[in-house]
């Protein structure tokens, strides 16, 4: 396999349209050819991602058989493109070959997907993906010396194993993101294997790669969930807000052209059509760079880079400077006598223009807050345009916008104050209790992961100058992950209501939830309160995970207790662990003290 030339091939937080139209402009042809060459050179990696995400339970050996089959298919088509099989969409070919693997559909329970064709089969494979990967064994780890020996003796095998293990545990992450992670992993391995202190090097340099994967995983699941639950219109407005903030000089007409290219029809990426996702990523980068004079002054150097390096450069570029002639407010949406008539003539364009004008004037606001303001404006006009004096009614729209922003700002300030008072661990335990009370039906691992991500939002943002937008954006991603990608996901009536009723106000909805009254706790089990000496042998991170899991399971079992009572039981647990790990015989101590924890 050729070296993965992927550094910088980042997925610019976009979801893209599937298109079979061949390019005709010289620059587009060059872009298409470069992307096609990249796909052909990395067909093995691309196949690993697709197979591992579609059939997460499959073994590495089963995946290798499909890779071999897909490479042979690629070679046949490169030799003779007129063959009938070469006219099919790559994702359809891949799924056909997965279905044709002897005994595999029955073994992993996806034969019902193989009886479908085209779009229905693609959706079936998508709905078969499992975000809760507790059924998989722990991520295999090698100590640094073993890792370096494996890299030096068989680099290709190590990278294939790594990509397979990461992809099957992240079934909704887009292929370009996973390919970038693999490229960064190789950079880390190459560099750290030359270091004397390999352990420290791997630990330090792996952190940003892991953070990158987690961030993109959350975002991609969030917006794919929005697409499936609310449709393309919500995604359309998300990107009007994002792009208007990043490129405030862009003309409205150009913005809509870009947004349509980005968000109109991106089912392929969310479904896991890896080839189309890569093609369309490149296509959008080309769109931005071909119109950079009218889009942004901050991306010139990015667009001079090789095609596979543009994405990361563009996403890391600063927001463009606000136009000097841009007024602080756009009066035509609140001061004009004809607002209702303009709305009625073309509602979608009218509200798109409002979102564009408000977003580029407020780079300090979060995307969820901008969407809330759009919804408030829609509701206000729905009411005002039915009164005798509409202008007298909607003239006070700015007051409504400021009111909701103030409310959201106070909520973030309170949460950051909470973080300062409780500290990182205290805040995490607070959210583990809260999240488990409102969604106890989720698995223990999911709840622990959500609690960690919520705390990350506060530890990352609460000391920044852009505290409000940062917290609100990241916390919204956590609730998006809780709601899940699949439109049929059901947790409990209250949570489902927040997930499906109004995308913009999802976070405030969750903040108002109490403990789920429909939940029936599992039967009491003394096993939950039984601990052994191995608790004392756990490394810090492992001990923390065991502690977090205990707290979640405790809340699930004693769901009716108040937060204070649960915190008291949790303190008992922490005291027992501390006491017994210092005892001469930890096992004897745990046998004596463990039964007292639940009393």
Nearest CA-CA partner of 597 in 562, 552, 550: 550
Question: Which residues, in sequence order, are CB contacts of 156 under 8 Å at separation 6+?
Answer: 1
Q: How many Å apart are CA 193 and CA 142, to the nearest integer? A: 13
Name every residue whose Cβ is closer than 8 Å to that of residue 433 and which is 6 or more positions away in sequence: 551, 555, 563, 566, 567
Q: Which residue has the tokens 């700015």?
A: 398
Question: Given the structure tokens 């490129």, which residue do they identify?
Answer: 247
How many Å apart are CA 583 and CA 66, to the nearest integer?
A: 54
Binding residues: 273
Report the C-alpha gap between 207 and 170 in whole angstroms.
17
The rounded distance, in Å, linking the Cα atoms of 131 and 486 is 10
DSSP 470-522: HHHHHHHHHHHHHH-S-TT----HHHHHHHHS-STTHHHHHHT----TT--PP
In terms of Cβ atoms closer than 10 Å to its own Cβ (0-12, 13-18, 19+), residue 282 is: buried
- Please enumerate, by residue number, every residue annotated as part of a binding site for Zn(2+): 273
Helix (H, G, I), strand (E, B) or coil at 489: coil
Cα separation, 481 vs 516, in Å, equals 19
| Residue count of the chain | 599
* CB 151 within 8 Å of CB 181: no
What is the rounded CA–CA span in Å between residue 422 and residue 429? 10
């Amino acid at each position: 396999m050729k070296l993965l030339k992927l550094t910088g091939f980042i997925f610019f937080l976009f979801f893209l349209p599937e298109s079979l139209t061949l390019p005709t402009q010289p620059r587009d042809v060059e872009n298409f050819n470069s992307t096609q060459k990249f796909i052909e050179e990395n067909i093995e990696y691309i196949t690993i991602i697709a197979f591992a995400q579609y059939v997460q339970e499959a073994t590495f050996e089963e995946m290798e058989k499909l890779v071999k089959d897909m490479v042979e298919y690629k070679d046949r088509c490169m030799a003779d493109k007129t063959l009938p099989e070469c006219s099919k969409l790559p994702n359809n070919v891949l799924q056909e070959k997965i279905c044709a693997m002897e005994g595999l559909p029955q073994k992993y329970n996806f034969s019902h997907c193989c009886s479908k064709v085209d779009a229905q089969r693609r959706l079936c494979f998508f709905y078969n993906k499992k975000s809760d990967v507790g059924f998989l064994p722990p991520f295999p780890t090698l100590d640094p010396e073993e890792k370096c020996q494996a890299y030096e003796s068989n680099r290709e095998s190590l990278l294939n194993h790594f990509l397979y293990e990461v992809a099957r545990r992240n079934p909704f992450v887009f292929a370009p993101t996973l390919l970038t992670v693999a490229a960064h992993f190789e950079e880390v391995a190459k560099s750290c294997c030359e270091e004397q202190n390999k352990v420290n090097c791997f630990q330090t340099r792996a952190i940003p790669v892991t953070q990158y994967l987690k961030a993109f995983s959350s975002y991609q699941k969030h917006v794919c969930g929005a697409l499936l639950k609310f449709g393309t219109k919500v995604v359309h407005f998300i990107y009007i807000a994002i792009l208007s903030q990043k490129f405030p000089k862009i003309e409205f007409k150009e913005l809509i052209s870009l947004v349509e290219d980005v968000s109109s029809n991106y089912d392929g990426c969310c479904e896991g059509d890896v080839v189309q996702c890569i093609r369309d990523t490149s296509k959008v980068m080309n769109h931005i760079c071909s119109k950079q004079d009218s889009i942004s002054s901050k991306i010139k150097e990015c667009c001079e880079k090789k095609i596979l390096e543009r994405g990361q450069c563009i996403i890391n570029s600063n927001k463009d400077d606000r136009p000097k002639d841009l007024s602080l407010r756009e009066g035509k949406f609140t001061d004009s006598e004809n607002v209702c008539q303009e709305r009625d003539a073309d509602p979608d364009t009218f509200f798109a223009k409002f979102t564009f004008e408000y977003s580029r004037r407020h780079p300090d606001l979060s995307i969820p807050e901008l969407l809330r303001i759009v919804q408030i404006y829609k509701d206000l006009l729905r009411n005002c345009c039915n009164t005798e004096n509409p202008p007298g009614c909607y003239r006070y729209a700015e007051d409504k916008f400021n009111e909701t922003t103030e409310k959201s700002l106070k909520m973030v300030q309170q949460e950051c104050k909470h973080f300062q008072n409780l500290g990182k661990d205290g805040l995490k335990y607070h959210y583990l209790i809260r999240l488990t009370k409102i969604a106890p039906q989720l698995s223990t691992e999911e709840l622990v992961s959500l609690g960690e991500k919520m705390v990350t939002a506060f530890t990352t943002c609460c000391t920044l100058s852009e505290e409000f937008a940062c917290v609100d954006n990241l916390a919204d991603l956590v609730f998006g992950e809780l709601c899940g990608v699949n439109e049929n996901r059901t947790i409990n009536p209250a949570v489902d209501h927040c997930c499906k009723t109004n995308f913009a106000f999802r976070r405030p909805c969750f903040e108002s939830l109490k403990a789920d009254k429909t939940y029936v706790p599992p039967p009491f089990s003394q096993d939950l309160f039984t601990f052994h000496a191995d608790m004392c042998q756990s490394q810090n991170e492992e001990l923390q995970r065991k502690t977090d899991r205990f707290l979640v399971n405790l809340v699930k079992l004693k769901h009716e207790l108040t937060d204070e009572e649960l915190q008291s039981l949790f303190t008992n647990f922490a005291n027992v662990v501390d006491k017994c790990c210092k005892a001469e015989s930890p096992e004897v101590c745990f046998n004596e003290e463990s039964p007292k924890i639940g009393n």
